[in-house]
Structures are given as C-alpha cells and as structure tokens.
Amino acid sequence: MKHDQDFIKRQNRLTVFEMIKTQSPISRAMIAKKTGMSPTTVSRIVGELTEQGYVIESEQVSEGLGRKSTLLGLMDASVSSIGIELDRHVLNIGVVDLQGNLVHSESHERGIEEAPEVTVQRISDVLEHMLERGIAERKHIVGIGVGLPGIIDNGRGVVVFSVQLGWKNVALSALLEEATGLKVKVDNELKVKALAEHLKGSAIGSNRTALLGFGNGVGSALIFEGEIYRGEMNSAGEIGHTTVDPNGPLCQCGKAGCLQTYITIHSLLQEASQIRPIQSVEELFAARAAGERWAIHLIDRALTYMAITVNNVVCMYNPDTVIFSGELTDKFPEMYEEVKERCHSRFVWEPLRDSFRFVTSQLHEAGVMIGSGLQAQAQFFKLD
Ligand SMILES: [Zn+2]
C-alpha cells in the first residue's frame, strides 16, 4: 500500500512537471483539468517544484468570472543532465537541457579492452574538466544517463552482457554514482535512441515506432504509445541474434547463422579480408565503387538482409514508422535509398508496404546522448 502511494506521488510529480514543460505557460487550474488531479494536489506539487527552483510564476490572466490565475513556466537553465554513449571505440559525453537539446558534446576514444573501472574514471575526469571550464554547473545537473549496447538491467543499472564492450555483470550505475556523486540511469543504447527520435527527431507524433540500428551490432527498439517496449529482461528487440540460416557462419554468441553475421561492420570486414586485406568499411565501399565483384556481392547481400529485417519487424509489430539508423547508414547515406527500394519492390510483404513511413534517423550520433540525458531527467523528477 505504502509503496503504491509513493509510486503514484512520484508519477504525479512527473506528470505535472512534463505538462509545465511542454504546455507552458499554463495555470494550476488548467493542469488540474487536464490531468484529472485535484487542485490541492496540483498546488502542492507546483509549490514543491517552485521552492526547488524548477518552476517560476509568470504573468496573471483572467480565467472568466473575474478570477485571476497565475501562469507557470520552467526555469530552463535550472536543470540539465549528462548524456553518455559508450561503444566499443568511443565515449561520447554531452550536456542535455530540459528541452532535450544537446547544448555541448565531446567525443573521446576508448580502448577496446578497457575495464569498467577505467572507463568510469575517465567519464568522471571528463565531467570534472567540463565543470571546470564552466560548460555546465554542478548544481544544475540532475543526473547522468548512459546508453550502451548489450543486455542492460535498467532497473538495477547493471550491464548484464555486452559483447561490444566485453563486459559482463558490471554494476555500472553504482560505480558511476560513487565516482561522480550524481544519480545514474543506464539503458540499452537503441532504446534511448528510439526514445530520443520519438521525442525530438524523425518519429515525433508516431504511436508505434521501430528503430533499426546497423553498425558494430544489429538491433532494434520499439516505442509503443510513447513508452519503450522492454520485454522481460529489457532485451526486446535484439534481432541481431535471430537465426536466418541454421547452416550459416558461426556468430560471436556461439550459434550459427545469426542475422548479424551477415550485416555488422565486423563481419563484413572479416569476410572481405578473406579476399584481400581490408581495414575499414570505407575501403570496402571503395572496392564496390571500383566495380570489384566480391565487394558488390558482399554489400548487396547486406542490403538484402537489411530489407528482410525491415519486413520481419513490420510483419511482427505493424509499426507506423520504421527508422533506419546506425554507423553504416550515417557513413553511407545511399544505403537508405537502396534498402528502401528493395523493401518496396520485393522484400516487404505487399499489403504492408504502404502501412509505415520508412525514414532515416534525424539525430544520428547525438541520439543516444539526448535519449539517455532525457531519461536521467525523468528519473530525477520521479523522485521525491
Ligand atoms: Zn548470435
């Protein structure tokens, strides 16, 4: 009972905050009317938020029958959060404001074998350095959000398993909280990215968004009615390990013929190197452009599997929007048109072809920072 009441209180606080954020200037009476909360509850929450310096009262307006009411707005500069993207090679760290704008960001290299403690220390150092330079003020930072690839226990803030980082059962939230003294929220990168695209990018207004990510891994994330669909272990959307050929090549996960053995940058380079030494995807695409048949075949096959992935996701979830994203498409935007053409001409089941928008990511590499920064803010406003 007690737990339920606390939960409702926190939800109410977040609801009021979100309403002021998105619909200001707005009065207490209007908030009560729109949320169905009692005027007393709304006044109490607004009082708290004002006292803490997040909300300000602006002008007065008449609201019929000669009654005056005061409009509320947010103190924009009073809240920001830190959004972090961790991947095999990089540590991207940014400052996200209340409106979800990335007001500052920097990129640092990360060693492939870097241990969690080392990465955590580096994050803490980078953050200190940003504060010293006046890029953000500590008293305004309400928390840190981190997005990274793998299976993440978002409730406990534990990296259960991340092949890309080589981490297993790492209590990342606890480590980072200890190092920085700030509240930390950890989640899967594609889930926060999809959330960011839904709130600020190419899927605004969508009710059912499926985001596909093609890069060092292959994955997807789903946003249904504004909420991240997580599944039982927060691993919903891990399409990289769906089996496409039981007799196919061995995957990093130990199974044969996973989807990602045909599409990830790593597997493309590995297969290309059996023909001749190829160091980067840029080289692979150059070989294709030069008309080398093996390169044409490899990329052609990858594009086909991408179109098949679109079809599978569309058949399974019937989304209104499918976002095509990731390092491969950020580097080679022409892939979007090529996959789109394949979807339309052949691979997406015909009755569903016109049922969804097929779009590219709008936030690109900023998406994970923005999404995780916004999650850190939401967590903060849920807390008492
Ligand atoms: Zn696999």
Q: Rounded to whole angstroms, how far apart are CA atoms 98 and 122? A: 25
Q: What is the largest CA-CA distance in the chain?
A: 82
- Closest C-alpha among 288, 286, 356 to residue 323: 356
Domains and CATH numbers, the chain: 2-74 (1.10.10.10), 78-193+366-383 (3.30.420.40), 203-361 (3.30.420.40)
Model pTM? 0.86
Task: Compute the distance from residue 240 Cα to the ligand 1 centre, in Å.
Answer: 6
Q: Rounded to whole angstroms, how far apart are CA atoms 168 and 146? A: 16
What is the token pair recorded at 119?
Answer: 């990465």
**SS3 call for 103:** strand
Give the pLDDT confidence score for residue 65 in this predicted structure: 67
- DSSP output for 234-302: S-TT-GGGSBS-TTSPBPTTS-BSBTHHHHSHHHHHHHHTTTS---SHHHHHHHHHTT-HHHHHHHHHH
Q: Length of the chain, please?
A: 384
Give the pLDDT confidence score for residue 120 in this predicted structure: 97
Task: Compute the distance from residue 355 Cα to the ligand 1 centre, in Å.
Answer: 30
Give the pLDDT confidence score for residue 164 in this predicted structure: 86
Task: Compute the distance from residue 270 Cα to the ligand 1 centre, in Å.
Answer: 16
Task: Compute the distance from residue 206 Cα to the ligand 1 centre, in Å.
Answer: 30
Give the pLDDT confidence score for residue 13 in this predicted structure: 87
Task: Compute the distance from residue 97 Cα to the ligand 1 centre, in Å.
Answer: 37
Q: Any residues with CB less than 8 A from the CB of 238 and at least 6 apart, and which?
A: 151, 219, 220
C-alpha angle 343/190/91, rounded to 5°?
Answer: 125
Give the pLDDT confidence score for residue 317 in this predicted structure: 95
Could you state, in chain order, the average pLDDT of each consecutive group of 10 residues for the chain (384 residues)?
Answer: 73 87 88 92 91 82 72 81 94 93 94 92 96 91 95 96 92 98 96 95 95 93 94 94 92 91 92 93 96 96 96 96 95 95 96 96 95 93 64
Task: Compute the distance from residue 260 Cα to the ligand 1 centre, in Å.
Answer: 7
CA separation, residue 60 to residues 17, 30, 72, 317 (Å): 20, 13, 9, 47
Task: Compute the distance from residue 70 Cα to the ligand 1 centre, in Å.
Answer: 57
Give the pLDDT confidence score for residue 313 in this predicted structure: 96
